[in-house]
Structure 1
Amino acid sequence: MELNHQDRFLLNKHTLFVIPPGTPHRYGADEVNPWSIYWFHVKGEEVLSFITSFHLSEGPLQIPLDSFLEFTDLFEHCYVLLSNKTYSTLYHIKVAQTTRYLLSSLGLSSIRTKEEERKELYLEKTIHYMHHNLSKSPTLLELANVAGLSVQHFNYLFKQEIGYPPIDYFLRIKMQRAGQLLDLTDQTIKEISHGLGINDPYYFSRLFKKVNGSSPTEYRNRKKG
């Protein structure tokens, strides 16, 4: 897709693209794996504010599969109505309302997709930090700062998506690493505990048993494989 003889966009399947009125444009499909398009024109006094409100003009918008399937059904429905009742005012009203619903639904589904992507980015960033800072003991505020979120929102989002509060999950990652060190090294329990930022070996042992179901000593002595 090319706009104004200079701006180019690569469109994937299930993508919505809004072309502003009066904008020179051209588009083409891949010769080896071509695609089909659904297109229609919309006009009216409220079109611009409507499209802007639902963020439909912010470049190519990826549409979830379920929303795309709903779109194709509604599009075909409108096409049949206009083909059979070309001059019916009532049918035109119905098509206009259906199109309004169709576009708003696509906008909302795209916004939800962006929100999910942002959630994944926040979580991936934080979990990456955890894995690379196992020797540290950051506070909830410090972890929230890594994600770039408020403490309250970060704590809620993390627990909702991961199933554990951030600090609890970080401790579980530490205990997972502790199990690997018990299996693969000759480090003492005290050395492993200190290396993971836990200065009290007794607290470390209690935490390890809570997470893994056995004490560090029992875990190391257990036959595996």
Structure 2
Amino acid sequence: MEIPRSVLKAVESVVDKFKPLSVFLYGSGARRDAKKFGTDYEMGVIYRGKKISRMDLVKANTDPAKARFYPFDYKDFRKHKAYVPFIDPLFFYELLTTARTLAREKIVETLPKPSICVADLIGEIGFEKGFAFAAFLDWRNGDLMMAKNHFSKSCLFGARCLIILHQRKFPASYTEIIRLSKGKEFREWRGLLRQAMKIRLKPRTKLGKSDVFDNMAFLSSVREAITEVLKKKGNIRLL
């Protein structure tokens, strides 16, 4: 995906003002699977020493409509710690798999990936179940675009948890998730996953009430599978 010139100008503005260690692209823009749910570009700004705040970056951003800048303290970043609402090991594993440096030092390309254990998947699937419930609330309130976004993301990332659990692989994109969702554990849910992917590709696709409720049931079944492994084998390392 080609980055708009206005976004690159915003990167230049941040670099000129703060002289950070590194600026990198991550998220759907880096995965190259951003679609029509209001595409923006998420950039991480790694600093060392004097703190750079989120508000500092907002003020320096010359393209707030498309560019989003988030600060990361280098001493925490290299330990796979971040103040984000996601599960750190999965967040960093994806980030270090897909992110690419846009300015200054190449840090994301050189850091080792974190380990992912069974308990991390418990945390992740809880997060996705929350998104699935948000999809239900969005659907009930008539906000179909947000409902589709929450539905498709939670469904596909929930499937990723099952792939990590059973296949010990980390699919970084939606396309990879669908490609790896072929095992018997997905047999009952393949239609649901196809619907989630169809919505990612074509947001005008209709989202039905059954899709919303089936997704919550699917994610509950994923949590049961993860919990079963945790009971039988303990908090083993998966990746």
TM-score tier by shorter-chain length is: under 0.3
More strand by share: 2
Q: Which has the larger radius of gyration?
A: 1
Q: Which has the higher contact order (CA 8 A, sep 6+)?
A: 2
